[in-house]
Each structure stands twice: as structure tokens, then as C-alpha cells.
Amino acid sequence: MQVEAIDAHPEFDLFTYCELSGETRIEHDLLEELEPRFDGWAEKYLRAYKITDPAAPGDGGHLLIWLEEPVEDEIEGVWQDSPSAGMSFHNLAIHMVMSAAQNVVPELADKGCAPLPKPTAGILKAFEKLGLVWNKEGTVNRQFAVFTRMPYSDGCGICMLRPKCPNASDD
């Protein structure tokens, strides 16, 4: 497998963040805290990689994006002081990785989802090389992460979460 770092430039979108958070409005003080964190996390802790199999040149590959552990630790610390603020920052981290993924694979925004494929043995080795551990539940050892195919293909048909997903469809 080839593992290539890529640029994933997430964009903070207030409307999308509010929709994700289930909020219709955000207090100015909270917004003043969200924006610098978004920029800081993106600059310091956002990781994005394209994983491709040289033996399958027609396959576009896979996208892997995550936020490093210091973001998780920061959110946990905020959560201990204020659960509502912690939830706000938790949602910000989710918004960031999804925005970054949509920047790289624009169809994800149209579909509203990033289908989770089952990784091959080669991809699992690539995860290890990047310091990540795959769990059988369909997650890596980072709380805020996206793993999907690129370009977008197969939708729900390849998604490991389909049996439990309330939004699953027959693409």
C-alpha cells in the first residue's frame, strides 16, 4: 500500500455546525471560542492521508482523516469543567473531520455520509504504519476520524455500518 499525506483544508461553516449540534443559534461567547480552536486544531492536529494499492491502479484508493489525541484530551478537559461546552467542542471536532473529508471528496457533502468500508489487510498495515489501531467495531483508536473510499463510490453497499444505520438506502 502507498500512504500519501494530503491537504484537506476544512472550512468552518456555522450553518453546518448548528445543524450537526442541533442548535438554531450560538451565543457570541461560544463562537469566539470555537473559531480559534477550529483553526488551531486544523493547523496542528489534523491528519489526512490517501491510501492506495499499486496493484489496483483503477481503484482511486481510500481517504483517512483524523484529529490527534491532544484534541481529545482538550475536549475531555473542557467536558469536565462544563459538559455543554465539552459537547460544543466535541461537535466542532466532528464538523472538522467531516468538512475536511468533504473538501477532498466533495460527493460526501451531497450524500451526507461517508460510507465506512471494511479495510483490507494491506490497509490495516497502513493504519499501523500511521500509528492507528483498527477496532472490529469499525473505528480507529482516534475519537474523531473518517475512513472512506475516494472518489466516492458504492455508498451504503460498502458500508460496515449499514445493518445498524437508520439512513441506509439501496443507492
Q: Could you give the C-alpha distances from 120 to 16, 130, 134, 151, in angstroms and in order?
A: 32, 15, 11, 17
Contact (CB, 8 A) for 21 and 91: yes
Q: Where are the alpha helices (DSSP H) in 10-161?
A: 14-21, 28-44, 69-81, 83-104, 107-111, 121-129
Going along the chain from its start, the domains and CATH numbers come out as 2-164 (3.40.109.40)
C-alpha cell recorded at residue 13: 461553516
Closest CA to 79 of 71, 104, 21: 71
**Cα gap 55→162, rounded to integer Å:** 28
Q: What letter represents residue 67's amino acid? A: L
pLDDT at 160: 64
| pTM (two decimals) | 0.90
| Dihedral sign from CA coordinates of 99, 6, 68, 153 | positive
DSSP-derived pairing of the beta strands 46-52 and 2-5: antiparallel
**Cα gap 141→149, rounded to integer Å:** 19
pLDDT at 55: 76
Report mean pLDDT in 10-residue bins for the chain, 171 residues. Answer: 94 92 91 93 97 80 96 96 94 96 89 80 93 90 93 75 70 51
